[in-house]
Structure 1
Amino acid sequence: MALEGAVDPRSLIKDADEPLVQQTDRNNWVCAIEDGCGKFGTGILVGADLVLTNYHVLELLYAKPENSGLARCRFNYKQNLLFGELSEGRSVGLAANWSENLPKSRYSDKDQTGEETGFEADFLDYAIVRLAEPVGDQGVDDPADAEAPQRSWLTIPDALGLPELNSPIWIWQHPAGPDNKTAQPLKRSRGKVLKLLDTDMRLRHDATTFGGSSGGACFDLEYNFIALHQAGQKAEPGKPAAWNQAIPVVAIARHMRLNNFGHLVGKAPPPRRKAVRRPTAELRGITVAEAEVQRRLRAARMLMDRDDPENLINWYRDQENPGIVHLIACRHVDSHQNFLDRLAHLSLEKLGGDARRKREAALLGAAGAAGEQPWAKASLRWPGKSFPASAALGMIMADLKEHLQSRRRVILEAAVFIEDCDPERDRGLMLALAKKLVEAKIKPDRMQIFVVYSDKTEPGKPDRYKARRDILCKTWTTEERPPGCGVCIALVDINSFDLGSWCDAMQTALKVDQDTIQTGVDAALPGGMRVPMLQAEGALMPIVRPYVERMGR
C-alpha cells in the first residue's frame, strides 16, 4: 500500500486551531457603519485607524461632510448564540480628517444596470476612511489595557491571484434588520464564485446578502481577502436574484498603487503582544469567577419559563398531524430569544422530572452536573412581502437544503418585523412550507421552524401593533391545523404565578431553602403584577445573584 500524499495542492495541513483564530480575527475586524446621514453598511479594518468599505455606503457623507461627527463604526456587534445575548460592541467615531489623503473610487453606472462588460478602471466603488482612534493597536476587550493583544487589522494583499470559478466564498457582513432601518449583528454567508467580468474588474457570486451588506469582506476557503461585496442583481418583483457582485481586491490594490496610495497596500500590522498572565492566582480567580457568575446569570434568564406555550408546542409535535412550523407574535421586550434558547436547551427534550432537574443544574453550572444542547439554533431568511408565496417558498427551500441534508436537530428562527409583513401572503407561505416538509418526511423531533413576528413596542408606550399580533395569532387554530403546522402563540406579560416552576428549579439547582426564591419573586412582582419578560429578568437577577456567586465558592 502506498503512503498517502498530497492530491490537491489547495488542501493544506494546518494547526487545528488556525481556522478558529482566523474567524475570530475577522469577527474583530468587520464593523457596522452608520454614515450619520441615515445610511448604513459594512466595513473592515485595514489599518490601525483605517476602514475599507464601498464608496456608495459613504456617498451621502461625502456630500454632507458636516455630518461626519455623527458617523460611527461599530465593532464586535454580534450575537452570543449559546445564550441569545447580544453584544452591542464598541462604537468608534471618525477622525476630524476622516477623508483627507485617503483613496476613494466612485461606482460605475454599469453597476446599476447590471451589464457584464465595459467597466472602467477608475470606477471601483471603494473608499477608505480614518477613525478617531487607532483601534487596531488597542485590545479588543479593554482598549485601555496596554498589555492586551492588539485587535490588529486585515492587510490589503499586495500579490494575490484571482479566485477560480466555482471556488467557495465567505462574506462577513452586517445586513439590514427586519425593519430595514438598522443593521443586524455580525453575520456570515457562503457561496461560490460564478463569474469574473472584464478579467478582474468585477466578481459575481451567489452568497446571500441584503441591504447593509455592502462593504462586506469576501474571503476564499483559506480566509484570503479576495473581494469587497458591493451590489446585487435588481431582480423582478417576486423573483429571486441570479447573482450578487463584488470588486476583486486585485483591482482595488492596483488602483491604489496607480493613485499614490500604494503605501497602504501590503501594510501588515506589527506582531501581536502575547497575552499576559496576571500576577496572582487570586486576581485571575476573581476574573474567572465573575465571568462564570455572568454565564450562570445568563442561564438563569434563559430558564425563566413560559410553561403553557412550551407545553402546547410539545403537545402538537406528538399528534398524528405533528407540528413543525410555528408562529410567534411578540414585542422585543417579550425576550423571545430566551424562549427559543430554552426550547433548544431544555423543553423540546420532554425530559422526565429528574433528568430535567439535572439539565437545569448543568446549565447553571452546578458541580458534577453534566449537560448538553441537543438542538442547534440557526436563522432562516423570510422573503419580504413583495415576493409572491410561490417564489418565497422556493427561496426558503433553497436555504433549507443544508439543514434538510443534515442529521442534526435544529431550531430555525425566521425573524419578521411586524410592520413589514403581509399576514395573508404569509399564511399561504407557512402552509405551503409546512406541507413541503411533511411531504419530505421531516420529523418534528429533527426540525422545528418558528416564524417570529416582533415589534419594538416599549413598556408604558401605546401598543400600535397589538391588533396585528392578534390577527397573526389566528393564522390557523389548533382545532383545524393544516398539515405540518404547529401552534400560533403570543408571548405576553408574566407575573409571579407564571414563574412558580422557575422558582422551584432555581431553589433545587442553587440548593437554597424552600420558598427562598419564590419569596423574592413575590416581593419584586407583588399582587400578581404583570410585566414584560425583559423587565422581569432585570428585576429578578439581583435576587438570584448571591446564590449564583455562592455556587462558585
Structure 2
Amino acid sequence: MPGVVRRGAKHVSGTQVTNEATLRAQRRSWTCAFEDFAGVYGTGALIGPDLVLTNYHVVERLEKNAARQAAARVRFDYFAPGTGRVVVLAQDWLVAKSFYSWRDLDPTRDVEPDKLDYAVVRIAEKVGDGPPAEGVAAGWRYVGRPARRGWLVLPKPETRVEKGTPIDIYHHPCVVEGGQVSSCAMPDLPARGTILSVDAGWLRVTHNAETRHGSSGAICYGKNLDPVALHHAGDPDSALETVTPDQKPLPPGQRAIPLGLVAAQLLASFPKIYQETLPPKENPAQVAVAKSTAEIGQGLLRDRHARALPLVDRDRPEWDIIDSRAVQKSLVHAIGCRTADGQKFFMTRLRQASFAFEGLSRAERNDRLSELLKSGRSQNGWAGSSPIVDTQLDPIGAAAKIAREIEWKIDPGQGTVFVIGTTFAKRPDFEREKIMVAEVGRLCVPLTAKGKFQVIFVYEDTRPNSRGGSGVAGFWRNPPPDGCGRCLDLTDIARDQLDEWIKAIDHAYKIDRDALSNEIDRIFRLGPMPFAAIEPKLRRVTSIYCRDTK
C-alpha cells in the first residue's frame, strides 16, 4: 500500500516519495523556534490556528518575568539564517500548562503523574489559517504547496508510545557565540533515532535521537510520521539545566513525554483549549495524497467523531478521580449511577483514569474490560477480579477483608485499579457503606508502599424512576477521610447541559448550529437521559453533521 517510505526500503514508488515529501513539508511548516523567552530558547509546534505547544520549562522564566514579554518571539519557516516569519505573543499568551516533575531533575524522587512539562502558548496571529512558506527549503519542491498551513493534530488520548518505534525530530537547536545564545535555522534533515524505553507508568520515554540545547519542545514523529512524544530533556545539554541549575545528574539518554498524555490532560483540564486543537476544516494536513476521496472522507469523519464525542460528557465529573491522584493518598473513590451508566459503561468512560492516563487502542481497551468483568488476571492494569463486599460482616470487618485482598493483588510493576460494584433496587444502608468505604481508605494508605493502585466503589441504582441521584455524593465532604478521594453521583443528562457541546461542535466544524439544536431538542423531547442512552443518539447526529461539512 502506498504510504510513508520505510527506512531501509530498497524499492519505493513515485507516489510514496510524493507522500513522504508532503508529510515532511507539513511537519517542517508546523515547527517553530522560541526565541528569547526571558533568555531561554526552544522549539515548538503549531497545534491550532494560533496555538503552539512547547515545554513548560521553556516558558517558565517568561511567565515569572512579564516585563520581558515584548522581547519574546516565535519564528516559523526558519530554514536559513535571516529568514522566517516572526510572530509575537498574544496578550494572554499562556493558556495551558503543566509543570515538570521533580523526578525530571532528580531521578531519586517519586514520579508525579500530573506533571507533564508542557505549555500551550497563544500567538498574536492565526498562522495556521494562512499559507506556509514557499520554496525548496520549505520542502515543497516535489509537491504542490497547500493554500493553508494547517496544524499538527494531537494524537487521541488512546495513543500509546511503543518501545522500538523509529522517530524523527524537527527542531531548532541553539548556538552560543561570545556568550550570546541564539537559535539556529532548522537542519535540512531531522534528528533520527529510536524509542529506547518506556517507564512503568507510561509517563516518560527515552530515545537516542541527537538533540541539543534548544531542542526542548520538539515533536518526536513515529511511524508514518505520526506525532508520538514531546522531547523535553537531552544528554548532556538540557534547557532544564538552564532553568534549574541545581539539577542532579540524570541517566544518559534523551527524554520525552508521550503526547497521548498531553492530549488527555488538555481534554480534562483545559477543554476549551482542546477544542481549538480539533482538526481544521479542509485541512490538507489531515490526508495523504495517495488516498482516494472516499477514503479521505471516511478518515476525516472517523477522526471528527473521535474528537467530538468526548465533548458530550458535559463537565466530566469522573475526571475528578483523575485529578485526585495529584493529591497524596487519594486512593478510594465512590460513584453512584443508574444501571444504564453502570459498571461496564462507566469503566469505558473512565478508561483514561487508570494510572498515568494510560492510552489504549480499542482492542486493548475491550480486552481490559473483558478481563475486568471475569475471573483471571488482566495484563493492562485493571485487577482481573476485584474484591467482593462480604455482607455477613460488619462494615469494619468487611473493609478489612477487602483491604487484605487488595494487598494480595497489588502489582508492584504497574498501577492496578480495583472496581467493586454494588447493585441495589431500593436505597441501601448508606451509613454502613460510608463507614466501610472510609475504613477501606484508611487501611489502603500503608499499602501504597507495595505499589500504585486505586479502588472504585460503583453503586448501580436499578430503580426505574431513578435519575442517578443516589446520595453517594454525600458520603463525605472536603477534606475527605484519610485515603479517600472523590465521591460523586453521575446524574442523567438534561438538554440544557448540551449547549456547550453544540458550541464546541460548531466551533470545530462550522455546522448549521440551529439545525443541530433542533435535532438535540427532538432527542430530549422525553426529558433527561443517562449517558449510555444519549451517546449513540449523539453519535448518529455528529455523523450527519460532520459528514455534511467539508
> Do the two structures share a fold, i.e. TM-score over 0.5?
no
**With structure 1 as the length reference, what TM-score do the two structures score?**
0.42
TM-score, normalised with respect to structure 2: 0.42
